[in-house]
Chain A
């Protein structure tokens, strides 16, 4: 029988996993990945994940069994990040709603049909597998747009779960996803055809 990595580690060390560890350890890679995206540094990401895990362990008695553990622990990660040094710095430099207002992206109505580019230059880029360009575009997203797209596309969470993690309405989740993808497409277009820009 093939054991999952965290089970194998336990068997090798001869210790038994607690119910908390049973649920939390399979999410370790995901938590670390998101933490790295948010903090942009390996030591900070490790600190963030460790603090998240400790908080979750101490609060595990208040977690209702049968509810969404993944959304619960990601919410702790996100709240821990917001109060961390790097999180506070990000919040000081990016006030999402203000920034979006400045760029005129205040909601779904900002995406008329004409805004959808049927030439699709980024399709070619994606098909070429240019992961570097895509990652660079994601790095340039404002933190609130990046976190929503990471939860949606990387963690494949439902809008309702994302709303729980980020403590925002589902409508805001939808509009942030739309904005994030529009930003990515615009960035990819710049890479592929520097002289051409989609008018959004």
Chain B
């Protein structure tokens, strides 16, 4: 350090706040600069003098005793009031004791129920997300595959019977499809390890996969809609069937098709 020590550096020096590197540089400079050495000495003297001058007032001789008494009184009051908070509700009468126990039990049951419902909701939400992702993956795979569907037909009376003996459930296909929508065929597939009918539709030039599988108890009854990798995903549930539709077509047109298939199951 060749330049003079700054005012802030001088303060930091006398306050012992310079880092080891800064201190080493400052010492090198001080060894060569009488002016800064004088300033540092002056700062140091001022600090020391202020430290002494600042120690000016002493408490009265009985102040500590008075303070201690006050502190201990306050401490014992606190201890008593804390004990009072606990004791009367339990000990004042057996009735209060039982009432408190029942209330506590109810609170515990409530907490467990709330936790259970919350956990079920979280599970259902996670399951739905996984289902939507798997359905999307299978739809993308179906689009990319060169191999034709397991059954190729636009006739629902051909497609539905093809699943006989292949699925542990049956479903209905709608008579009338929305304008511009055609049935292309179907595949037998598995989602979440469960046998599923993959119905292939076209809406204009957009391909649609509608997956139908037997409804399980842990699936939410509500109709859900989401987006996955740019595809619209709509799920629905009827009495025995869970369905999930995936496509990149407009959501409204996909919703029309889903609605018709959903009604066909009733």
Residues of A close to B72: CB separation below 8 A: 15
Q: Which residue of B lies closest to A112 (CB)?
A: B7
Q: Which size class do A's interface residues fall under?
A: 35 or more
The interface residues of chain B lying within 8 Å CB-to-CB of A97 are: none
Question: Which listed residue, B4, B53, B59, B75, touches A49 by the CB 8 Å rule?
Answer: B59
Whether A28 touches B17, Cβ cut-off 8 Å, given contacts A131-B52, A177-B11, is no
Interchain CA distance A175-B6 in the complex, whole Å: 12
Is residue A159 contacting chain B, with contact meaning CB distance below 8 A?
A: yes
Bound CA–CA A32/B35 (angstroms) = 39
Asked if A57 CB lies within 8 Å of chain B CBs, one says yes
Q: Do B45 and A174 touch (CB < 8 A)?
A: no
The digit string for A81-113, where 1 denotes a CB below 8 A from any CB of B, is: 000000000000000000000000000100101
For residue B39, CB closer than 8 A to chain A, the reply is yes
Contact residues in A for B53 (Cβ distance below 8 Å) = 131, 134-135, 138
A153 at the interface (CB under 8 A from B): yes
Question: Residues 62-81 of chain B: 1 if any A CB is under 8 Å from the residue's CB, otherwise 0?
Answer: 01110110111011001000
Are B7 and A156 closer than 8 Å at their CB atoms? Answer: no
B67 A42 Cβ-Cβ under 8 A: no
Inter-chain CA distance A135–B78, complex, in Å, is 41
Contact, CB under 8 Å: A126 / B46:
yes
Q: How many A-B residue pairs have CB under 8 A?
A: 128
A198 contacts partner chain B, Cβ-Cβ < 8 Å: no
**Interface residues contributed by chain B, number (CB under 8 Å):** 41
Task: Kindly list chain A residues whose C-beta atoms are within 8 Å of the C-beta of B70.
Answer: 50, 53-54
Interface string of A139-180 (1 = CB under 8 A from B): 000000000011011101011000000000000001101100
Chain A residue with minimal CB distance to B16? A158
User: Does B216 sit within 8 A of A, measured CB to CB?
Assistant: no
Q: Chain A's interface: helix, strand, loop or mixed, by majority?
A: helix
What residues of A have a CB within 8 angstroms of the CB of B6 in the complex?
A: 108, 111, 113
A37, B59: Cβ atoms closer than 8 Å: no
Is B172 engaged at the interface, CB distance under 8 Å to the other chain?
Answer: no
Residues of A contacting B42 in the complex (Cβ-Cβ under 8 angstroms): 120, 122-123
Does B43 make an interface contact (CB < 8 A)?
A: yes
Let me know if A184 and B58 touch, CB within 8 A: no
B119 at the interface (CB under 8 A from A): no
Indicate if the CB atoms of A134 and B78 lie closer than 8 Å.
no
> In the complex the two chains form, is A108's CB within 8 Å of B7's CB?
yes
Contact of A118 among B12, B35, B43, B59 (CB under 8 A): B35
Nearest Cβ on chain A to B45's Cβ, whole angstroms: 5
List residues of chain A with CB under 8 Å of any chain B CB: 5-6, 9, 13, 15, 18, 20-21, 25, 28-29, 32-33, 36-37, 42, 45-46, 49-50, 53-54, 57-58, 108, 111, 113, 115-116, 118, 120, 122-123, 126-127, 131, 134-135, 138, 149-150, 152-154, 156, 158-159, 174-175, 177-178, 181-182, 184-185
Question: Can you give 18 A-B contacts (C-beta < 8 A)?
Answer: A5-B64, A9-B68, A21-B71, A32-B58, A33-B57, A36-B56, A46-B59, A57-B74, A58-B74, A131-B49, A131-B52, A134-B53, A150-B54, A153-B47, A159-B17, A174-B11, A178-B8, A178-B11
